[in-house]
Structure 1
Amino acid sequence: MGYRVAVVGATGNVGREMLQILAERNFPADEVVALASSRSVGLKASFGDKSILKVQDLAKFDFKGIDIVLSSPGAKVSAEHSPRAAKAGAVVIDNTSYWRMDPDVPLVVPEVNPQAIAGYKGRGIIANPNCSTIQMVVALKPIHDAAGIKRVVVSTYQSTSGAGKEAMDELVNQTKSFFVNQTLDPVKFTKNIAFNVIPQIDVFMDDGSTKEEWKMVVETKKILDPRIKVHATCVRVPTFVGHAEAVNLELERPLDDEEARRILAAAPGVLVVDQREPGGYVTPKEVTGQDGVFVSRIRSDPTVENGLAMWVVSDNLRKGAALNAVQIAEELIKSYV
């Protein structure tokens, strides 16, 4: 039996990627509907190499008969329309931040906590975690199972696509202006992003952390283990696609780098590229369009007891958003509906 699927936010970076991945993975859909705001009505959205979908108005769409909704329209829009879709009988897999910490909504990374999907019946909604959290917990899960993680210190290097198409355009335009000796003031970012790095993603919280950093802390605890201590510093860098993370771990039990490398290489969703030579590691440019979470620079940290460090890279639009949502849908139809 095929499913009726709606993609909300179909004209955005993540929505377009969702449509592409549904087609690539031959998701068993009899019908796929592209939805967006009224500004995008009538635009065309590609579904795979051959099919073109006409974008429909989310606000006017009747979700009756839709089985699965993949949603990435922004938190405020999701707050209004995800419950509406769920009330009509659909299961909503929501990529926004709005539902992630709702105790009645499971927060899922299929390689890490697929069993949590069973909790979708509470609200009819499953939350997709933040992009930086997803790739980190995929890499942390096998290490936690083997040696127990007490503390994580992570610094992220996040691409402009994480802030949307306008942010990517800002990087392009500022880069062009640099070479003709012009200055373009920042619009999407707090400072110029071209040839720069910005140690702020999202708004500041009362304790001095940013909301992006807070997300990594609370989402890691909800997905993996509430006992794990997490400290994050999230930085925007002048790249287009792909997030990188320098991750430092304090473990409960000894785990040397060779054993960690073996464990990671055997873990679902993880690809180890770790030659101790120039270029023997993965960078964001190389993982664009790839599905996996890539781990490099695995090494012991002798400055703390049972310390381990690694470099984690993934395509934030794929595994960090669209692919994870589609994988949740695949697990949902396989085991729960």
Structure 2
Amino acid sequence: MSAPSHLDPRLLRAFLTVAEELHFTRAAARLYVAQQALSRDVRRLERELGAELFVRSTRQVTLTADGERLLPYARRVLEAQDELLGAFGQTRPLLVDLNFRDAVTARRVLHRARELAPEHELMARYESGLTGAAEELLAGRLDASFGRYAGLDPVLRGRLEHQLVRYEPMAVVLPEDHRLAATEAVPLAELAGETVYAGAGNPRTPEWTDLARLLFAGRGIEIAPPAPLAVGEEEFERIMSKMRNPILAVVDFPAMPGRVLRPLTEPVPLSPVSLVWRKGLAHPAFDALRRAAGEVAAGEGWLRWPDGGWMPAVDVEMG
């Protein structure tokens, strides 16, 4: 590999993004450029280095030996560039998906991260579901999200990383006149014969519906059929008021008019919440976000296993 006198960092970023995606179309979407422009930049970098970096075929893209050799250098150069720009206040915002506006776990972590890194901009986004957010993470349109990592498709998990933040106790949201509304907590067996809404059919939240399926298995509880996909809290509340089904939720779920929230017991089902990001993410505020997740989880005891706790085996294994 010959050594040019100068390399445009933009070319290195094009190379690194393709190397991470191993797919030119996905890499172009992540960089917000046309695929032809991305291909041009990669070819220009190959000419300047005098080396072929990728093997391209109609079915796949793979790194050559020279591409593998360039990869760690490209990462270090671009990380240094991001740090340099950050030192002069030119860092792009870190985009953090909270799922929805009243998500207590994610909001607490983001608030602490902003305290730890006041010189950086950490901006909230609301993608309503980890599966929906995962595509945005991989495209580079989000940097981090929160949710049930084990519930993602294995192909998505292979391109993401996670840090467990909380075992969030689950609950049920009931109409005020429901037979169980007067109880302080609802033993899971009391839901036998009920049809409970758990987001079935929502393409952004299949990880949640899967958790419900595992929880309800063998307990005589049915998952409600798909409802019209509601966008926004007001529309969700309107659709749920028509359905009148109990809603599977977590203990920090926001209040809904005409509904009461009751924790589930016997067992105490837990929804594992992880901080999730794409592999290779480099941003000067990201370390603060991870540190905040650890600090808040430890301070709140979010990772203590409660008496009678339950979680699917696949979630336990992934930690």
The interval holding the TM-score normalised by the smaller chain is under 0.3
Q: Which has the higher contact order (CA 8 A, sep 6+)?
A: 2
Larger radius of gyration: 2
TM-score by length of 2: 0.28
Higher relative helix content: 2
More strand by share: 1
**If the length of structure 1 is used for normalisation, what is the TM-score?**
0.27
